[in-house]
């Protein structure tokens, strides 16, 4: 009955120097064409990262149509440009454009997810997104609004619902993804970060108080503790990112296939820190190398777990017969999701 | 010659290992259960993208992935298919360095000439009602946060305004749309021109002046800003620089993006100050007042601000931060005499 679990690690074969050349040529062409080429550049960038990401002997691919991306970008420029111009003229006009953007955002996000997933393939089969627009309004507008009004206390719950909506509505071939993370799984990392932030602030305040009272013999010790807590706070972002990515993947399944992500906050912190320092020192020229470093770590810590025979399962997957794909071609890609 | 690849039929995720060859004007795929041929014209053969697998895309959604770059290049060469231009540019370091040089040159040219030129053109196409609305908006914000009503008597305000209106201006220049009097201990001695052509004079500046000629000198400088729509152009240029920085550095940190953007914008405002000084000096001489009077009041303003800056209450509004070296400006104005 017990079956050997098959593990397939994701691999990333992109190289910083190679990507730098693609990045700079694309940047140059984008500037020369006043931004129009940026849509083609985005396709090449995604194709570079997707095709260098492989698992079980095959790589991902991206099929986005640059013209559709260009349309999405023009719409984004009109919406956000309109917002900033209006805000300069009158706050009322600015706020009404902002409200309009908020109202169409869930609809645009659904289009964006459909576009992105429909244009992602593995072994010649496309991914797909089936989320209903009505549910998108609940997940992308109502829940964030409610969590904003609860001063963020309900945000982990909203995050769980959004993740379940996005993952649960994603499919590969004729197999659907599922996500079974509970709200508690989201509350845990968020609450730990909140606790550390409060503790850090309290220690800093105490140190300031001691300093003001003239306890100079305490100062050195306290300064040490403050520095320790500042470092802990700097760890908050890598900590949250790694815990959330690990937890979300560990609760994601595709039929008999599971996933395991083993990012470590300290390693993520190292990568981020070096990236930021080198990007500043090189006035941004390190950016493509930084992107590769980050992608490699995030991709290579992901493993695919199959209880059934992976090849047999994959071979069963058939392209969906619906004509849905055809109508996707002219939907906007808004480039909202990371 | 043959090259090996992985074939996927687009209907099932099953992988088929195939060998590729080119024969009789057709590309052939041979493998277990697979026998397929197509003329290159029916296929999409994307150029190479770094070291990612090379692809053959069939019209029906089937695809073939080839890891052997050299072999595939050779196969394409026998089929008479040229490599793609962009892929070629991306693969060579000297093209990449060329692209880097072109990018840097274009960014510098845009910053030095393109953006100021475009902002000048756009500034003159902004309709008057929009400009008036912007000034109303600015004043509402300033009155709320920074400014207090002027303590100057109505008569005194009228004397200054009417002397200003009698000022002869260089050809093409027009009077400010309105002159407003305010007071602001926080800002200190100052006067400023808004994008829509409003000039605001602070009581502190009037108190600092030894006679009305000095007040007129400052107003002439501000009319220089209005006449050339400096505030509007500065706003347009600053928002483009801000957007570009946010886009370039933005995904690291928006705070990191703000600092260089601010630094880059000050160069524009320094240019505008110099031009307004020249305009102010010319206007004064046109009215029989020495340009050195502008230098006199600038000197006083500078002294007042450097004195107050030690108390640390000068805000982002600080007159000097966006202005060129005051000593150099004073020298330039005195040189006019």
To test the contact with chain A by mutation, choose from B36, B50, B100 the residue with the greatest count of A C-beta atoms within 10 A, namely: B50
Identify the pLDDT of residue A337: 36
- Position B323 pLDDT exceeds 80: no
CA closest to B236 among chain A residues: A85
Closest of B148, B53, B317 to residue A57, by C-alpha: B53
The span from the CA of A136 to the CA of A138, in Å, is: 5
Please state the rounded mean pLDDT for residues A148-167: 93
pLDDT band at A231 (very low <50, low <70, confident <90, very high): low
- Neighboring chain B residues of A57 at a CB cutoff of 8 Å: 6, 15
Q: What is residue A301's predicted lDDT score, i.e. its pLDDT?
A: 95
pLDDT of amino acid A97: 83
**Cβ-based contacts of B14 with chain A (< 8 Å):** 123, 314-315
Count of alpha carbons within 13 angstroms of residue B137, beta-carbon side: 18
Task: Please give the average per-residue pLDDT across B210-218, as a whole number.
Answer: 90
Contact B198, B175 (CB under 8 A): no
Is A89 an interface residue toward B (CB < 8 Å)? yes
Q: Over 60: is that where the pLDDT of B264 sits?
A: yes
Residue A260 and residue A305 in contact, taking contact as beta carbons nearer than 8 Å? yes
pLDDT above 70 for A333 = no
Confidence check: pLDDT of A76 > 70: yes
Q: Which of residues 270-289 of A touch B (CB under 8 A)?
A: 275-276, 279-280, 284-285
| Chain center to CA of A213 | 46
Q: Does pLDDT of B312 surpass 60?
A: no
CB contact under 8 A, A28 and B100: yes
How far the first Cα of chain B sits from its last, in Å, is: 86
Tell me the mean pLDDT in the region B3-19: 88
In the structure encoding, which two tokens stand for residue A17, read together?
């120097």
Q: What ipTM is given for this predicted complex? A: 0.74
How many Cβ contacts (< 8 angstroms) between chains A and B?
119
What are the chain B neighbours of A29 within 8 Å (beta carbons)?
86, 99
Q: What is the DSSP string of B105-118?
A: HHHHHIIIIIHHHH
Q: Is A231 exposed, middle or buried (0-12, 13-18, 19+ CB in 10 A)?
A: exposed
Take residue B266 and report the two structure tokens written for it. Answer: 């000050």
- The A residues from 293 to 312 touching B (CB cutoff 8 Å) are none
Helix axes B212-227, B230-249, angle to 10 degrees: 60
User: What's the pLDDT score for residue A219?
Assistant: 62
Q: Which residues pair with A177 in a beta bridge?
A: A254
pLDDT score, position B302: 83
pLDDT at position A1 is 40
Contacts of A25 in chain B (CB under 8 A): 86, 89-90, 95-96, 99
Nearest to A58 among B15, B91, B137 (CB): B15
* Predicted pLDDT of residue A334: 47
Give the closest of B61, B91, B130 to A21, CB-based. Answer: B91
Collapse the DSSP code of B168 into the 3-class scheme (helix H, G, I; strand E, B; otherwise coil) and give the result: coil
B249 contacts A51? CB cut-off 8 A: no
Which of A56-65, A194-203, A254-263, A273-282 is least confident? A194-203
- Token pair recorded at residue B142: 């300033």
The nearest CA of chain A is from the CA of B102 a distance in Å of 7
Q: Which of A224-228, A243-247, A282-286, B168-172 has the highest mean pLDDT?
A: A243-247
Q: Please report which confidence band the pLDDT of residue A177 belongs to, taking 50, 70 and 90 as the band edges.
A: very high
Rounded Cα–Cα distance for residues A326 and B318 (Å): 59
Q: Compute the average pLDDT of residues A144-150.
A: 91
From A84, A88, A173, residue closest to B13, measured CB to CB: A173
Mutate which: A15, A25, A33, vs B, most B CBs within 10 A? A25
Tokens 């995604």, residue located: A46
The overall average pLDDT reported for chain B is 83
Q: What is the pLDDT of residue B235?
A: 85
User: How far is residue A15's CA from residue A4's CA, in Å, rounded to a whole number?
Assistant: 34
- What pLDDT is attached to residue B337? 46
pLDDT at A336: 42
Q: Which residues of B touch A76 (CB under 8 A)?
A: none
Please check the confidence at residue B266 and state whether its pLDDT lies above 80.
no
Mean pLDDT of A288-308: 92
Instruction: Give yes or no for residue A98 having a pLDDT over 90.
Output: no
Q: Residue B318's pLDDT band (boundaries 50, 70, 90)?
A: very low
Q: Which of B15, B90, B249 sits opposite A22 (nearest CB)?
A: B90
More confident residue, B131 or A12: A12
- Which of B11, B89, B106 minimises the CB distance to A319? B11
What integer pLDDT is reported at residue A220 of this predicted model?
64
Residues A58, B100: C-beta atoms closer than 8 Å:
no
What residues of B are in contact with residue A316 (Cβ under 8 Å)?
12-13
Q: Is pLDDT above 90 for B311?
A: no
Q: Is the pLDDT of residue A264 over 70?
A: yes
Among A12-26, A314-328, B119-133, B221-235, the minimum mean pLDDT is found in A314-328
Region of poorest pLDDT, from A57-66, A280-289, B235-244, B273-282: B235-244
Average pLDDT over residues A62-76: 83
Quick check: A223 pLDDT over 80?
no
- Which range of A81-90, A226-235, A286-295 scores highest in mean pLDDT? It is A286-295
Q: Is A20 on the interface with B (CB under 8 A)?
A: yes
pLDDT at B307: 61
Q: CB-based contact (8 Å) between B13 and chain A?
A: yes
Report the pLDDT value the prediction gives residue B251, as an integer from 0 to 100.
54
Q: What is the pLDDT of residue A252?
A: 95
Residues of B in Cβ contact (< 8 Å) with A24 = 96, 99-100, 103
Q: Does the pLDDT of residue B5 top 80, yes or no? A: yes
Q: With beta carbons less than 8 A apart as the criterion, state whether A15 and A288 touch.
A: no
> Residue B47's closest chain A neighbor by CA?
A44
* In A90-132, alpha helices (H): 91-118
Residues 43-62 of A with CB under 8 A from B: 44, 47-48, 51-52, 57-59, 61
State mean pLDDT over A263-267.
Answer: 92
Which residues in chain B touch residue A234, judged by CB atoms under 8 angstroms apart?
none
pLDDT value at position A324? 41
Q: Hey, how many other C-beta atoms are within 10 angstroms of the C-beta on A35?
A: 15
The mean pLDDT value for A167-174 works out to: 90
pLDDT higher than threshold 70 for residue B126? yes
Instruction: Write down the pLDDT at residue A83.
Output: 79
């Amino acid at each position: 009955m017990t079956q050997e679990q098959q593990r397939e690690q994701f691999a990333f074969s992109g190289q910083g120097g190679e990507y730098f050349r693609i990045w700079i040529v694309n940047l140059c062409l984008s500037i020369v064409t006043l931004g129009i080429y940026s849509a083609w550049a985005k396709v090449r960038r995604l194709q570079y990262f997707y095709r260098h990401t492989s698992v079980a002997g095959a790589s991902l691919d991206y099929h986005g149509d640059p013209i559709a991306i260009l349309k999405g970008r023009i719409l984004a420029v009109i919406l956000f440009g309109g917002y900033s111009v209006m805000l300069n003229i009158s706050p009322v006009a600015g706020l009404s454009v902002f409200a309009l953007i908020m109202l169409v955002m869930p609809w645009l996000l659904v289009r964006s997810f459909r576009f992105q997933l429909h244009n992602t393939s593995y072994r010649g089969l496309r991914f797909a997104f089936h989320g209903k627009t009505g549910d998108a309004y609940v997940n992308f507008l109502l829940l964030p609004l409610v969590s904003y009004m609860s001063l963020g206390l309900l945000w982990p719950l909203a995050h769980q619902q959004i993740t379940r909506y996005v993952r649960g509505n994603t499919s590969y071939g004729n197999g659907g993804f599922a996500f079974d993370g509970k709200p508690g799984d989201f509350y845990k990392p968020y609450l730990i970060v909140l606790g550390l932030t409060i503790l850090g602030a309290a220690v800093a305040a105490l140190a300031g108080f001691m300093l003001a009272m003239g306890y100079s013999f305490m100062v050195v010790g306290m300064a040490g503790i403050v520095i320790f807590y500042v470092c802990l706070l700097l760890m908050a972002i890598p900590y949250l990112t790694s815990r959330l990515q690990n937890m979300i993947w560990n609760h994601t399944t595709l039929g008999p296939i599971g996933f395991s992500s083993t990012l470590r906050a300290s390693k993520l912190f190292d990568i981020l820190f070096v990236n930021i320092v080198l990007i500043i020192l090189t006035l941004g020229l390190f950016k493509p190398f930084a992107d590769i470093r980050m992608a490699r770590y995030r991709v290579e810590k992901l493993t695919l777990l199959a209880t059934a025979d992976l090849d047999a399962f994959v071979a069963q997957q058939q392209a969906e017969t619906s004509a849905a794909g055809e109508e996707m071609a002219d939907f906007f890609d808004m480039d909202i999701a990371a | 010659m043959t090259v090996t690849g992985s074939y996927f039929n687009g209907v099932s995720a099953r992988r088929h290992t195939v060998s590729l060859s080119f024969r009789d004007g057709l590309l052939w795929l041979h493998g277990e259960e697979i026998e397929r041929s197509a003329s290159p014209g029916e296929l999409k053969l994307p150029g190479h993208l770094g070291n990612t697998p090379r692809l053959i895309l069939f019209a029906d959604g089937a695809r073939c992935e080839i890891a052997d770059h050299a072999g595939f290049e050779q196969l394409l060469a026998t089929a008479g298919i040229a490599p793609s231009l962009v892929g070629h540019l991306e693969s060579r370091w000297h093209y990449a360095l060329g692209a880097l040089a072109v990018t840097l040159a274009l960014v510098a040219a845009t910053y030095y000439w393109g953006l100021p030129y475009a902002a000048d053109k756009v500034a003159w196409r902004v309709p008057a009602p929009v400009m008036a609305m912007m000034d109303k908006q600015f004043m509402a914000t300033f009155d709320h946060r920074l400014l207090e009503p002027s303590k100057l008597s109505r008569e005194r305000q009228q004397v200054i305004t009417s002397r200003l209106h009698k000022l002869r201006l260089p050809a093409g220049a027009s009077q400010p749309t309105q002159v407003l009097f305010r007071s602001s201990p926080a800002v200190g001695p100052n006067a400023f021109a808004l994008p829509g052509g409003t000039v605001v004079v602070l009581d502190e500046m009037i108190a600092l002046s030894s006679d009305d000629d000095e007040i007129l000198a400052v107003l002439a400088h501000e009319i220089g800003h209005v006449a050339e729509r400096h505030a509007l152009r500065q706003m347009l240029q600053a928002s483009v620089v801000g957007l570009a920085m946010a886009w370039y550095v933005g995904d690291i940190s928006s705070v990191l993006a703000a600092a260089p953007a601010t630094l880059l914008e000050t160069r524009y405002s320094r240019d505008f100050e110099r031009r307004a000084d020249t305009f102010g000096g010319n206007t004064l001489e046109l009215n029989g007042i020495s340009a050195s009077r502008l230098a006199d009041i600038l000197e006083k303003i500078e002294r007042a601000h450097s004195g107050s800056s030690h108390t640390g209450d000068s805000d982002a509004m600080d007159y000097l931060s966006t202005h060129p070296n005051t000593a150099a400006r004073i020298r330039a104005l005195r040189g006019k005499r």
